[in-house]
Structure 1
């Protein structure tokens, strides 16, 4: 097992960096959100947020998203937060290997057999290959090599292209050089939102022998190219033992979705299909680059099994929202049991 503790210096460096970049206006904006939802006085919320950030490693958005204003100190202590996740990433994801997860082209090369879809790289001289690929699949996904939270991801249709040389040069000039076949998703996912490929975020830790499932979140889109919140998406936490939804859906903008806004599917009724296969699949991909131990894996369950979308070495955090789920505890105990901090 890894050594105990995260160390003092990484935490100090993180706090110093946060202090340099603190946006007082955004702190008060978040405090007003808390006031509107929980009826707490803004000055008291601001003080509590700042104290929680400095002494408990709680991000300002964490405080809002996980309803800390309605939780006891003991309940708050069970929640995973972004500052702690950041420290785990810095400690357990070896820097020389992080580029594999930053660079989507490099990621596809390394994890090719687990992508379970066709893809190609746009290069200076392969316009004909791009045309053949796009015509074959009808619709393609184009990605820039670097990007996160859905940035740099676009969807193109062969029927809309009349100038293939211009299409190729445009992709190349914009850096949209990673071209992929659209993933086919399981009918149970399509029943919720057929217009977007709905990904499952599995946060996991590989200790060198065993892969530990720390948290599982199911994201749902709104018909756009991505299910990220910047595209109108939202998520619900799944039970990490069964894959069943724990509550209605929610996002970081105060929106709660009891039913999917487009399909009407009741989110709390969702069961991730082939859940045991997903767990086994994550264990397999976690061993490909064992030097990156702490990863947020984005998986799509296809008709025939799990498909790998990407891995995030800066895993981020997905947690229960008490005001929506009624669950007043988070996943931090699972992290601690697996990682030993």
Structure 2
């Protein structure tokens, strides 16, 4: 597996997003199946594992902690706080809270769930716009000084917020959705990361399965699947977006790879500071994704694939109004 740099850490060029082993896309796999995915990824050379306090309201961190504790020295561990499940009278609900007290609480819970003394890369999962970014990052820098976190990162923030945060404490990585159909980071964030020496970690690099070509009927999505309220996955919009896939799949076939591998290879060729973290619940898909590291794309192939699926022809915003309001990323006009 080729490697890339995230601050002081040399990691596999393709990491593993662990979220869907416990969260988000309908009924998650069993813990035993999740364990098989994690260990298979490690055996295949993956050395970046990404989780968060939010995923499964702690269940994902507990799974990663239990399974990966014996192998802790072999990989870089990333998690996120500032957005977690909080117990209310009517159940556990997702809460964005970037206050210093909440960040300390989330980190302590994550350390316990992950069964580790230190988290290598700790992100602010969402910027709580009620709290100055300087205050949230200041609390995270306290965690670094306390030895509980080695480096810190941000998720779904703008270039301006990145620079404000970096003035308080070095930002090692920024994590944002990035794929052929979500190109927002190209506005300013990719450049901001390069300028400050931060890695850019691309989540949902396969466009939540769209770019695999395997999701052809959104009516089959589970009732609790987080894609259901996303505008791009509405039946009407998704039907329009599906029309983009036939020439894209044909190009992948011409280049000797699968559509999923083409999507990941495109990210790897965009810039050396980009690290995609696809997630999966299947071993065959895991090995398919990792095979993208071997796909070589010429400048002509890059231009052709970018012309097929981009911000000008994808139908629908990536989030519904609530989700859009929770992120700080730039948007195309």
Please indicate, yes or no, whether the TM-score normalized by the shorter chain is above 0.5: no
Normalized against structure 1, the TM-score is what? Answer: 0.27
Normalized against structure 2, the TM-score is what? Answer: 0.28
Structure with the greater alpha carbon radius of gyration: 1
